[in-house]
Structure 1
Amino acid sequence: MGLIDRASVTDEARWRVYNRIAWKILPLMLIGYTIASIDRVNVAFAKLQMSAAIGLTEAMYGFGAGIFFIGYCLVEIPSNMILHRVGARLWLARIMIVWGVLSAATALVQTPAHFYIVRFVLGVAEAGYYPGALLFLTYWFPSNLRAQAISVMVLGSSFASIIGSPLSGAVMGFMNGLGGLSGWQWVFVVEGLPATILGIVVFAVLRNNPADVKWLNPGEKTLVISDLASEKQAHADAGLGHRFGDAFRNPNIWCVVLANFCNLSTLYGIQFWLPTIIQKVSKTTVFNTGLIAAGLALIPCVVLIVNARHSDKTNERRWHATIGFLASAVGLGIAGTFSANPYLALAGLVLAHSGFVMASPPIFSLPATFVTGAAAAAGFALITTLGNFAGYTTPYLFGVLRDATGSFSAGFYGMSVVALVGAAAIFTTPALRGGKPLAVEPNTVAAE
């Protein structure tokens, strides 16, 4: 079985080459994004004990959870431009090593002010990982295979729930008091340091582009480099911008910026509050809360892969993303309407999460079809930078609305409207009005 769908590649030799590349680099990308997602939202579980320990209200927690993204957004574009110059191997490893140390250091916070500071600095440290990884994939996969490659990495958001949720619950339930640390402190230590270890592995085994690896023979390298060069030439012939500033002048990029902001708003509306909601409606233990959250993440994993493969096979992005947004809007509306009914509310959140993963790969396969070169690096960073402001606004507004109304319904209704705005943004993207992005037929170069 291949990570790349056979039906989306024109010939057997080409499929074998890209599938080999996928198996060599995508597992590292998946593990890295899984750890990043766990480290980003494990605070949602730690909150269940940490709030009382350091004196956090719901609004203060929302502010602290969200301020991570202020630091993240401030340096994301510079970080991606550095990666474009120095290479993914060095820069992604640097990011992971530093963020792992800082994530573990969250265990040392003693006051809300400490919490705010560490979350902000952690955001600065992690900035650039996601857009850098997305940019890195464009150095290996042509656009007609990119949604599948991105979908494997985006699986990390679901794996973070499947792995991180029960892990957080187990650590908090069984390690509380060990070594003089509370359970919530052990969560940050146990789940933070793996990023540092993986950063060392990435530096040791990752290579920046196909020309640098030994596991492709000369013919296979020629095939991949030729495919990517043909795509680059087609983009140049179509007049696509390649300079840094071109990304900021491209209206298609700004449509995707808005769409990604809306999509991440729905995700963080789910992730930062799901453990609290599960515990309130089920009255269960922290460990069981983690198991429930993990189970709820399985369905979106299947939806993600099926939707991304179909998007690549048909070279269609507009409807694949739009339908995802509509699913999120419906799911969040259900969660808001039936917030007092645990079964219907959680079903709505599963539908909303499925909508998020449907929209993500098509969205992030688009920037490199609008711009190229340094403009693509800036475009990816711009989209994730402004999109990640959702990580600040959503948790904070959710917390404020929860404190003001005593219910989660208002927050879910608001996120449902945001999802509809995202659907409108991607559906009206100028370059997609013909139905498909620019497609490039691969060269007929056979692998040796």
Structure 2
Amino acid sequence: MIIGLDDTDSVNGMCTTYIGTLIVEAIKELDSKLIREPPKLLRLNPNNPYKTRGNGAVSIRITEDATPEVLEKIRSISFDIVSTYSESGDNTNPAIVFLSDNSITEEIKLFAKRALHEMLSIEEAISLLNKIEADYKFIGNGRGLIGALSSCALELDDFTYELIVYRNHLKRGKKFVSETSAMQIEKKYSPKIFSSYDFENERMVISPHSDCPILYGLRGESPEILLEAASTIESEKPFKRNIFITNQGTDMHLQEKSIEEVKPYSSVIIKGIVSKNPYTVAGGHVFFEISNGNKILSAAYEPTKGFRNIIRKLSKGDTVIAYGGVLDTEYGLTVNLEKIEILTLAELYTREKPICPICNNPMKSIGKDKGYRCKKCHTKNKEVSNISIVRDGIQTGLYEVPMCAKRHLSKPLLRYGREKKYEEERFKFDYTKFDIKFEGI
């Protein structure tokens, strides 16, 4: 059986991974061997306007040899936890689904894949669940069913791990996690651990500022390296912890598209030529236009900080590949840049006033396309010299936004070449021996 849950948090607090961890802990107390692999934390469409923060859903796989009696007990415990701990509010619609291992159809797999790229309907999720006679429950309007179902069926290729350490969900206010600890982890463990400390912008990125129960999260390539690094972190006293298999840092949300295929809320990879030079608008956001027959705006928003300096150096005629989510803005459809690859740089020229061949003085223009004349001796010259402009500070290559502006799904450049096959790796870590209760890392 697979348990899927989503939309249990709100802007005021809680976290779906925390509720998933409470469910895992309760199941482990029944029998530690009921769950053989870490739960999955799957990030869905990052452009979804209904998301609370990172649009993450959680799924938990129960071993196939669990008895019907045990499965029924798990269903009851799981729904009780969701009902008890989920946030309430107009934009919070918790849901939990229970699927048998052999009930996931190709239609459901496609639905889960679409949940990364599109806006899906509650009605479609309910229809698919009813078609396979799945057990499900929800609070509110049922929107959480979309993510809950998708988390059970989304197929992974590349994947990463996250170790999340929690404080008690009742505790609110400022969290203490040592910034120095995060710096040391970034220095010592990168690239095996990624996105811990942004040195460029002097910002720790392992600890969220919201009132959710997450104290800190470490993302990397193996549970063992995450546990080792976590043992070095100085923080307030943790409460619980969990290891998740995730699609974070994989670029799973991006799809290659032509400009005419682009739709709002999708995440795309578009190749084109810069057709309008970059310009900066109020707020420090930098826009430019690319074309491959049709045209679309791309933007480096203020939170991308120094990345905007690269964008400002682009020029008409440059060939680029833009990576990012599509927003429907006041300016029209706009790609919110996560990365940009510069394939070719256009040759830029400036006109240089000719020097008088007689008296060696600079000549002056006598009108458009009329040439130049020396002010001193009145010698005329119709030829103009074009001087190539050296384009300092920009070269071909792949550029990414800084760590502090990076989306959960965005693949850091340092992960290129470190991809892993999920089916080959999923049982390498013995999750049956992993303890949720915090007794030191």
Instruction: Give the TM-score normalised by the residue count of structure 1.
Output: 0.25
Q: Larger radius of gyration, structure 1 or 2?
A: 2
Identify, as 1 or 2, the structure richer in helix.
Answer: 1
User: Which structure features the higher share of strand residues?
Assistant: 2
TM-score computed with the length of structure 2 as normaliser: 0.25
Ranked by relative contact order (alpha carbons within 8 Å, sequence separation 6 or more), the top structure is 1
